[in-house]
Amino acid sequence: MAIADALGEPVRFVEQSRAEARAQMLRFMPEPVVETTLDILGTPKPAEQRVSPDVERILGRPPRTFADWVAHNSAAFG
């Protein structure tokens, strides 16, 4: 709940079924992209869960955590 912590207020999370997410995504994405995205989000492989060492090389700094990103960008959520 990094966003809730950064805002200092509760944030409600409502999980969608795959079918609900698929129906919404198909409104603006082609079906092959939707299916691949849902496959990756639903059952990511270990390699898809790790931060690439290329991130630091490209950014020129170590990668930040999601919580750090949220704290830096919390105004966008308020």
- Whole-prediction pTM: 0.56
The domain limits of the chain are 2-71
The pLDDT of residue 78 is above 80: no
Tell which residue, 5, 6, 1, 4, has the closest CA to residue 71.
6
**Distance between CA 38 and CA 16 in Å, rounded?**
11
Q: Could you read off the pLDDT of 3-33 as tens digits, one per residue?
A: 888 888 898 989 999 999 999 999 999 999 9
Q: 74 CB contacts (<8 Å, ≥6 apart)?
A: 3, 6, 7
The DSSP letter of residue 65 is P
